[in-house]
Structure 1
Amino acid sequence: MNTLHHKLGLISAAVLSAIVSSTVQANETEQPIVENKSKLERIEVTARRTVENLQEVPVSLVSLGATEMAEKGITVITDIQQYVPNTTLQVSRGSNSTLTAYIRGIGQQDPLWGYEPGVGIYIDDIYMARPQGAVLDIFDVERVEVLRGPQGTLYGKNTIGGAVKYVTKEMSGDAEFAASATVGNYGRKDIKLSGQLPIIEDKLYIGAAIANLTRDGFGKFRNNDEDNYHKDVFASRLKIAFRPTEDLSFKFSYDNTQDDSNAKGGYRMSPSRLTGQQPYDNVYDSDISVPVEGMVELSGMSLIIDWDLSDALSFKSVTAKREGDTLASIDFDNTALKSFDVPGIFDDEQFTQEFQLSYRVNGLSAVGGVYYYDGDACGTFDVQLEVLGQILGAPGLTSENGGCTNTESLSAYGQTSFDLDDHWSMTLGARYTSDEKSADGYKYTFYQTAFPGDVDKGLAMAINPDNTFANDESWTHFSPRVGVEYKPNDNLMYYASYTNGFKSGGFNMRADIGADPSADQPYDPEIVDTIELGFKSEPTVDLRVNAAIFSSDYSDMQVTVQRAVSEGQFVARVLNAGEAKIKGLEFESIYAATDNLNINLSIGYIDAEFVEFLDASPTGEVINKADQYVVSNTPDWSINLGANYSFVADIGDFVVNTSLAYRGDSHMYETPSAIDQKAYTLVNAGVTFYHSDGHWTAALKVNNVLDKEYRVAGYNFAPTLSLEEVLVGYYGDPQTVAFTLGYQF
């Protein structure tokens, strides 16, 4: 397999070299620049905090527009991973709307409150600090941008892997209305409505959108006949735009999402030691011994002020507040016995304020500002071991962890791009960040089976008194970016860059001070240094080719390890124990083969390995176990081949879209296990109809045409106090068929 990967890497390198060579030769012949450079659509992005042509941005990024996503059958943000190389966006284990996001081998393994992500998620430039509720449904959206590599200069901490920007639809100022209804297998019923209305012509507009998304389960909980992998989401969005003058605008937004989907059960991959339950035939079937009801509610509001101070200088203020509440339960062993149940409640809120100045004249662009973040993340979860409690002669045994983390962050940033001559330009940027974090937590054990908050604290404290901690810490970091760009002509740009980013430090919210007196100590930030070389080209009027190679040094990785603190007793610690070397390439192309046919190919390759993973032996000796660990959630190869064919009939236009998405072997955790997913390929197909009157649309989509089974998450625990082995997998969607009818004016 390693030999195959080596050969494929050489082949990819040769392909890239040939493309660059042919592009250079084309430019050496000084082809005339065509006014309309290609048949391909111009793609505008805001990756550098200003509107630019994607082909002019010296950053590895992919932008998917609303029409393209609809034609591809993308309905939720996790579908995007099929079309963006070196990117993992998946639903976290045991959840419906918590996001596991990795880009270029960097992300967040554990969604516990107080831990920081490695990929930043943004809604209209508003940072979402927590992964709960970040599996966003696609509605009322203009585009989604995925920026790969550290974005520490313009986007700040916690974007060391990259950033995902969810950009909602701008109001045009005209009266508009759109409605769509979708029906599909598994009882899918979706309704989406959106519209906008001018209140004062050219001055004041109001817009709104709602989405009601429901689906029966892909499987059942066998012991109570409730739906598993069920969906019940209602989302709404309100916008008000006021433009008192041509140079000044105010945009107010409010959004709310209510997710009442059932708890998600995993598929037992091995027989139960306690009940003898065998693995079911359907990977979406499970058993459960916690309440099936779940709840995630998210809301946010923002005010964006744009003020053009002159033709060259503009000011922006972004004020935002977001909050979320989650009630979730995970049955880790997925049996009808209460042997390893973990109910939890989580709540978080954040306030952000950004002031930004942008300056743009011929040959020079600059953006800079200050950013403030204040956020609280709180949670409580119980590990219910009722079976063990009964063995000990008690009604149950529960261990409860709880606490809060507060983060205040203040940063100042600036980035400028300027021409050196007609062909050469440079990009210089930097950000200085000051983080202050405080945390308090506790861990109690008590002889009863209870849910978070329903605890006999007196009994708990009698078992392990004073098992609480409180501490605070602060960090500062300077993140630079240096880049150089070379444009032989308007159809080709080469670029090289060095970028630094960091992910904030924190505290272990699973701390057990009673067993581990040093558990209140903070862990430090992670640091990533990335060098990237790339080019963006349109060598002919019907071909676009972009590619990049990169190398990242990933240090002070925050790693959760199990440490022995006494005979037979282990605790979880978060340590800056890891260092990794990550190298790879990204290649994206689209070819307008005819006026009706577009063919696109994207390829991602990553070679990621630990060079250091410090852990302690049972005797306390610190040893390097790098050869025993792997980088998680990162397939070596990610490839997508797609075609889009359109044709005109008397009644309207038809667009046929197909794609094959390949993902290589992927590890769920840093240690290889039976729940790891082997390489697989997904096939999607669909046809979209646009009526000639410009109002009606219809679409038939089939995703996962071959009904491929593939795991996206799982748990792997050896029998411990629960007395039960946990070898559980969570799976991506089976074959789904959907028909959508839409109307707009």
Structure 2
Amino acid sequence: MKAHFRRAWLASTILAASAMAAAPAWAQNAAGEGGLEEIVVTAQKREQSLQDVPIAVTAITPDSLQANRIFTVNDLSAIAPGVTVKPSPGGSSVPVFTIRGQSSFGVVPGSDKQVSIYIDGVYVSSPRGSIFELPDIQRLEVLRGPQGTLFGRNATAGAISITTRDPSGEAHIKAEGSIGNRDAYRFRVTADLPQMGPFSAFGSFVRNYRRGEVRNAAAGLIWDRSSSPFGVQRSAEYLGTVDSNSYFGSVKFEPSDTFKIVYKYDRNEDSGTPDVTGFVGYDPNFSQLPALVGNILKPLYASQNLYARADGKRPDVATNGFAVPRTQTVQGHSATATWQASDSLTVKNIFAYRKSQVLGPTPIDGISSLTFTQPALVPYATLVAFSSIGTPGIPNAAAAQAAIPAFAAQLAPLVGQRFILVAAQSASVSKQWSDELQVNFTSGNLNATVGALWFHSKDVAGGPQGLQNTLSFPTFVPQNGKIPLGNEGVYNNEATSIAAYAQLEYKFTPQFEVVLGARITRDKKSSTFTYNTRGPTGVVSPNTVITPPDFKKTKPNFLVGLNWTPNDDTLIYGKFSNSFVSGGSTGGIPYEPETAKSWELGIKADFLDNKLRTNLAVFHVDYNHFQQSQSTSATASAALALPILTQLYGATIAGEMLPKLSVFVGDQGKVRARGFELEVTAAPTRGVTMGGSLSYTDISFPFVEPGVLAANGGRLDVTARPAWTGSVYGSYETQPLFGETTLSLRADAFYQGGMSFAGNPAIQIFDWNRGAEKVDGYWTINGRVALRRLALGPVDAELALWGKNLTNRRDMTTALFTPFATSASYVPARTYGVDLSIEF
């Protein structure tokens, strides 16, 4: 691996040197039509040309958004070098980003994530609040590497910045409609009103539906959560269904050329179904489980159709009886006031409020529930007897053995009920308030950006009211679907963050510029964890409230950089920066702030009269106290959490708390990432644009916390992080075929390298789940063909054919190893359809 990395590093260095040496000659020899347009980004809190920004940033163009049908952040995988995105296992489809060796979840209540998402400059704190149809986008930027100075905490791996458009002030209507396979339809209407005095406004509505790609063999099961606001639901007929309504509106008040206030509102209502959790397989001997447990599961698994796919490919049918349509509402308000005090001074203030509410029940084990059968009754009665009276090897074991028939008679009514192994029904309500003041000053050789931020959030998460968060072995649910009360675990979290920052860019000469940045952040977090216990007879104990000490921390960030522009078309930069993810605790299990230290060298160069653009970044990042999301349903994670809880609260409370926690944050130790990211774009002649990207990341664990290593059997491999990613695309637009109508063709191909899913194959991989050990590298291909600027009477129209994942890749994106079985998530199935848009 080290030799491989050295070769990749050497290749990228030679490429950079060649580009610098060749720049003058290429520019002199440039001729012909074509050329790349300037791309404007706000990666440094002000508008700049992409090629002038000393940051590894990918700006996703409207054509790319349209051709690849990018509607949510989960659609951004491989669109930028080294960036992969996938929905986390679970009904809420929280995005999991991988950037520069960092895998960002943020699914643990009260925790933060390593990749920040910003909408119009507003940080979206809750990961469950970041999944919705993207509104009217003006710019979408993917910033790679630590962004601690300007974007603040929780951006150790990078940031996603989405900028929506302001009202145009001109009367305009655009309507788009699409139909596709699997009963898909999507329509969007946007209307701009004419300016009335200092006011202008627009609004849009999007309706999006597509039936899921995997049939649910356990459709129609009733799940009764009437103790909570979610009521009674039925398991979905298809898994992976998209079903959402999105609203967006904006009003601009601009009384003068120097001052404006823009208010924006977005809302998304989502009742789609969870993606399939496929069943890879189970150990027929249950050798990883106690014999008393294995004896129960053997007859249950053997008596029912599980639709297992041991090869790790996406199935056509699955038994996900616990998967019901999610209930998800996300909304946000923001007001941005901008004052152009002078030609050199701009003052901006962004005030915002956001709220999200989510319930997303989903299986974890790939099955979610089995029917409890007669052959399992005596083995279960044996487990209950020995748990209640005695265990083998102690004096009262004989009494337990003798009591088995009586217990079997008592438990006989359970036959025919649903028997749940591992299933999640997490619910959350998140609210956040923020206000940020920014000042930009430009004069002569100096650019200065200074600001201050106040942020406050409240989050309530856990099982639906009165119900258990993660249902685990052994949970019985009667056939009427009434989920039993109790075993509830609820997190209440509050966080307040105050920060001040400054970044100065000073040109010593026209070619050399120094960049200095600093930020100071004060975080305070408080939390409680409330749980109860349901006894064997169904009696629920009174609530127990755990109140850990508040987390308080003041952390600085720094950035030092040097920019060199040897000519107007070339920028070479080098910088050191650091960043952090805030610390905290989960049910009292503490975790330190995660820190990142990054060294980066980059070159951005345009050649041949802007017909060729090459951007290269070489980086080295060290992460310390890496925050790894853990699930107590996993044996290794439970082994890690139990000693900590025991030390904090004693063995009795620790045993009660562990299954109710469901998830927590563990300190994994150190992660090191080194590699390069290359983007190339060319417009050799009129109507033709092509390009691609290539990235390589060497990831290692220089130090693993001993507790984590011991819990994983003494070995921890790198998982779910591909070393290589790449992309190629090409587009062509003809001269007018008739009138002003042109034909546009575009194809995109994205490559994700192979990766492993098993942290310790020796204890996770066997003959029956060999297909879940790793996934080989694969390409996904998207395409679009469109007739543009069709004149239909008084309106302009566009008609297009499109396809996504045209080769219908079925590869895994995640594998889950539980003590009971192995399950997986997958690449979304092929979609295709027809678009028609009109505007006037």
TM-score, L = length of structure 1? 0.89
| Alignment partner, residue 85 of structure 1 | 81
1:517 matched residue in structure 2:
none
Partners of 1:481 and 1:91 lie apart in 2 by 32
Aligned-partner Cα distance in 2 for 1:550–1:204 = 47
Structure 1 stretch displaced more, 112-121 or 677-686: 677-686
Relative to structure 1, the CA distance from residue 696 to residue 411 in structure 2 (aligned partners, 3 Å threshold; closer, same or farther) is same
Q: Which segment drifts farther, 675-684 or 175-184? A: 675-684
SS of residue paired to 2:14:
helix
Find the residue that maps to 1:616 and give its secondary structure. Answer: helix
Q: Does 1:446 align with 2:541?
A: no
- Decide whether the 8 Å contact of 2:67 with 2:783 is kept in 1: no
Q: What are the Cα deviations for residues 97-144 of structure 1, in whole angstroms up to 9, with x where unaligned?
A: 421122212242351221101000011111100111423434421221
Unaligned runs of 5+ in 2: 221-236, 283-296, 371-418, 631-636, 765-771
Whole-Å Cα distance in 1 between the matches of residues 825 and 92 of structure 2?
11
* Residue of structure 1 in register with 2:271 after alignment: 260
After TM superposition, the structure 1 = structure 2 runs for residues 400-549 of structure 1, keeping only pairs within 5 Å, are 400-447=488-535, 459-461=540-542, 466=544, 468-508=546-586, 511=587, 520-541=588-609, 542-549=611-618
> Aligned in 2, Cα 1:115/1:573: closer, same or farther, shift over 3 Å?
closer
Tell me if structure 2 keeps the 8 A contact 1:614–1:625: no
Distance 1:420 1:265 in 2: 57
Residues in 2 aligned to 1:269 and 1:250: alpha-carbon distance in whole angstroms: 54
CA drift at 1:447: 3.6
Give the Cα separation in 2 of the matches to 1:348 and 1:670. Answer: 32
RMSD: 2.9
TM-superposed CA distance for 1:658, in Å, is 1.2
Distance 1:179 1:85, change over 3 A: same
Which one of the candidate residues 152, 159, 172 is aligned to 1:156? 152
Q: Structure 2 vs 1, CA of residues 448 and 234 (structure 1 numbering), >3 Å: closer, same or farther? A: farther
Structure with the higher fraction of residues in strand conformation = 1
Say whether residues 1:66 and 2:85 are aligned partners. no
| Runs of 5+ unmatched residues, structure 1 | 450-455, 512-519, 719-724
Q: State the SS of the aligned residue for 1:69.
A: helix
Following TM superposition, by how much is the alpha carbon of 1:175 offset from its aligned partner in structure 2, in angstroms?
1.3
Count the aligned residue pairs: 708
Which amino acid in structure 1 is aligned with residue 488 of structure 2?
Answer: E
Match runs of 1:20-99 below 5 Å: 20-27=17-24, 39-99=35-95
1:82-231 matches, cutoff 5 A: 82-109=78-105, 111-201=107-197, 203-224=198-219, 226-231=237-242
Q: 81-90 vs 397-406, which deviates more?
A: 397-406
Stretch deviating more after TM superposition (523-532 or 358-367): 358-367
Residues 186-233 of structure 1 show CA distances to partners (whole Å, capped at 9, x for unaligned) of: 1111011112112415x2101101100001111221022612111110
* Alpha-carbon shift at residue 688 of structure 1 (Å): 2.0
Label 1:33 to 1:368 Cα distance change in 2 as closer, same or farther (>3 A): farther
Instruction: Show CA shifts across 1:336-392 (max 9, x none).
Output: 42313322210100000001111012322111110000001111122334745699x
Contact 1:386 1:397 in 2 (8 A): no
State the distance in 2 between where 1:604 and 1:398 align: 49
* Structure with greater helix share of residues: 2
Q: Establish whether residue 697 from structure 1 lines up as the match of residue 798 from structure 2.
A: yes
* Residue type at the aligned position of 2:670: E
Find out whether 1:279 has 2:274 as its counterpart. no
Distance 1:190 1:275 in 2: 41
- CA deviation map 1:82-107 (0-9, x unaligned): 22111122111123542112221224
Deviation at 1:275, TM superposition (A): 3.1
CA drift of 1:733 comes to 1.3
Cα distance, 1:613 vs structure 2:
0.9
Separation of aligned partners in 1, 2:713 and 2:745? 47
CA distance in 2, matches of 1:117, 1:408: 16
Aligned residue among 769, 782, 786 for 1:684: 782
1:296 pairs with one of 297, 306, 328: 328
8 Å CA contact 1:289–1:341 kept in 2: the answer is no
Say which SS state the counterpart of residue 156 (structure 1) adopts.
coil
Distance in 2 of aligned mates of 1:15 and 1:612 = 28
In 1: Cα distance, 2:316 partner to 2:154 partner = 34
Output the amino acid matched with 1:695. Answer: D
Indicate how the Cα distance of structure 1 residues 364 and 443 shifts in structure 2: closer, same or farther if over 3 A, else same. Answer: same
Find the counterpart in structure 1 of residue 455 from structure 2: 373
Distance 1:280 1:616, change over 3 A: closer
Output the CA distance in 1 between the equivalents of 2:188 and 2:773. Answer: 37
Cα distance between partner residues in 1 of 2:483 and 2:580: 47
2:745 to 641, 656, 660: 656
Q: Work out which of the residue numbers 701, 722, 738 in structure 2 matches 1:635.
A: 722
With CA pairs under 8 Å and 6+ residues apart, which has the higher RCO, 1 or 2? 2
Secondary structure of 1:84's aligned partner? coil
Structure 1 residue matching 2:338: 3-state secondary structure: strand
* More displaced stretch, 699-708 vs 90-99: 90-99
Tell me if structure 2 keeps the 8 A contact 1:385–1:398: no
Query: Which range moved further: 98-107 or 538-547?
Result: 98-107
Secondary structure of residue in 1 paired with 2:747: strand
| SS of residue paired to 1:628 | coil
What is the aligned partner in structure 1 of residue 14 from structure 2? 17
- The one-letter amino acid of 2:279's match is R
CA distance in 2, matches of 1:535, 1:355: 32
Alpha-carbon deviation of 1:400?
2.4
Deviation string, structure 1 residues 577-626 (Cα, Å, up to 9, x no partner): 41011101000001223323222020011001111111339xxxx97989
Q: Which of 812, 816, 819 is matched with 1:715 structurally? A: 816
Residue of structure 2 in register with 1:551 after alignment: 620
For residues 37-91 of structure 1, give each alpha carbon's deviation from its aligned partner in whole angstroms, at most 9, with x where no partner exists. 9710110000000000000000000001223321344333322222211112211
Secondary structure in structure 2 of the residue aligned to 1:459? coil
Indicate how the Cα distance of structure 1 residues 734 and 427 shifts in structure 2: closer, same or farther if over 3 A, else same.
same
Query: Contact between 1:384 and 1:398, CA under 8 Å: does it hold in 2?
Result: no
Offset, 1:182: 0.6
Residue 523 (structure 1) shift: 1.5
The reply on whether 1:596 has 2:687 as its aligned counterpart is yes
1:317 alignment counterpart: 349
CA contact (8 A) 2:558 2:577 kept: yes
Question: Which residue of the partner structure matches residue 434 of structure 2?
Answer: 352
Secondary structure at the counterpart of residue 527 of structure 1 = strand
Superposed CA deviations along residues 232-289 of structure 1, whole A, max 9, x for unmatched, are 1001011000101110000011111100112444111115852333335762532234
Match for 1:646 among 733, 736, 758? 733
Residue pair 2:493, 2:528 contacting (<8 A) in 1 also: yes
Secondary structure at the counterpart of residue 21 of structure 2 = helix
Note if contact 1:395-1:448 (Cα within 8 Å) is conserved in structure 2. no
Secondary structure at 1:23's aligned position in 2?
Answer: helix
Which is worse superposed, 350-359 or 560-569?
A: 560-569
1:290 positional shift: 3.0
Taking the aligned partners of 1:110 and 1:675, their CA distance within structure 2 comes to 24
Specify the SS of the correspondent of 1:150. coil
Deviations 1:682-727 (A, max 9, x none): 1222212212548211221111111111222342111xxxxxx131
